[in-house]
Amino acid sequence: MKFSLIYEAQTTDTSREGDAKVLLDILEQSLLAEEVGFDTVWAVEHTALEQYAHMSAPETFLAFLAGRTTRIGIGHGVICLPPKQNHPVKIAERCAALDILSGGRLHVGFGKGGTQQEAGTFGYDLADLPPMIEEAMRLVPRIWVEDMVEHHGQFIDFPPRPIHPKPLQDPHPLLYMACTHNDSLLDAGGRGIGALVLGFGGPEQVAEKNAIYRKAYANRKDTDQVGFRPNEHFAALCPAIVLEDGQEARRIGIRGQRFFLEAIGHWGSAGAIPLPDPDSWADDLTAQTGDGTTIIESAIGREKVTIDFSDSSMSMLNPNHAYGTVEDCIGYVTRLIEAGADEILFLNQMGTVPQWAMLETIRNIGEHVIPHFRKQ
């Protein structure tokens, strides 16, 4: 089992100062993650998605992190492949250099970006991207292994060129895809690469997606393999706030999840859904029912979430998170592992979550949750 962190660089403060704070906060978290035993730090790539994701230059962040660390994996989760956004030659060169300088710690995920907002920034229609992504995805590993590379495709064309450096890992770093829909799981499995499953669906949905991916991987054709290093790997998202005060962790987690889903809802709907406005939310989302029971109520998109603290079985009450105590987190992670996950992608960096809660979460997971599973 692998235990990792994944970052969007979400922020409620879109000022110049807010940009600086979110990246420096994530750096502090990542350094702590290496100290307490996490396996990999993954950084997404998004452009022009204000509030939702300010991680627009993951190659810079990951290179800086690699220079400040010695052990933890460095993960692109994922690189966007539209050629005008990231040309395959430059992807191959940057990744190879980072793999060498990090001592072979690089993991490389591929994707297209999730919204028309991003695609349109580079002059594309989102619906037109899949064949470009397919061509670029197959070209990058060739650049890593061929002495002289020549390519004449539908979207990318260049004459014979010697392209250096080559990566430290031989033949190249492990490859992955971002997977949000079942079709992308079929693609990842069929291409023989890992699946980074990014969603809040919970263990039951993870089990369903795992079955789809494993079947596709088992039935893949050699001619469909992307790259030269097959990688059967299923990583599942695990939103997590883990504090000594479990009730406070759930309140912070639900609030962060609301921000996450409302922000991506805005960009995914081309602005039809407004951006989140946490200042308009109640300072404390907890409330008292008529019988004195403490609850949390929050609207997340169109879904109303209610957490009843009179029931100690929190992971059963709301199965789609690891918000709570160390014991709550262990219980939820156990269910993800039973659902088929090879790697847990802990997500705690959601826009409204304060830095102290993220640091305490990372320490609690590293000092208590990860050792629990390592012993097994």
34 closest CA partner among 342, 366, 344: 366
pLDDT at site 359: 98
Percent of residues, the chain, with pLDDT higher than 70? 90
Report the share of the chain in percent with pLDDT over 90.
82
State pLDDT tens for residues 86-132.
999 999 999 999 999 999 999 999 999 989 999 999 999 999 999 99
pLDDT, tens digit, 9 for 90 and up, residues 15-44: 999 999 999 999 999 999 999 999 999 999
Nearest to 87 by CA among 25, 157, 142: 157
3-state secondary structure 270-283: CCCCCCCCHHHCCC
Residue carrying structure tokens 């998004």: 46
What span, in angstroms and rounded, lies between the C-alpha atoms of 260 and 273?
13
Quickly state the pLDDT bin for 45 (edges 50, 70, 90): very high
State residue 302's pLDDT score: 39
Q: Report pLDDT for 315.
A: 37
The answer to whether 112 and 80 are in contact (CB under 8 A) is: yes
What is the structure's pLDDT at 291? 58
d(CA 264, CA 262): 6
What pLDDT sits at residue 199?
Answer: 83
Q: Say if domain 2-241+321-375 classifies as CATH 3.20.20.30.
A: yes
The pLDDT mean for the chain works out to 91
**pLDDT given for residue 311 in this prediction:** 47
Q: pLDDT, tens digit, for every residue of 312-367?
A: 443 333 445 899 999 999 999 999 999 999 999 999 999 999 999 999 999 999 99
**Residue 228 in this model has a pLDDT that exceeds 90:** yes
Q: Note the pLDDT of residue 309.
A: 46
How does DSSP classify residue 166?
P
Q: Where are the domains of the chain?
A: 2-241+321-375
Reported pTM: 0.92
Q: What is the three-class DSSP state of 77? A: strand
Residues 6+ apart with CB under 8 A from 47: 56, 80, 85, 113, 118, 121, 122
* Each residue's pLDDT tens digit, 100-112: 999 999 999 999 9
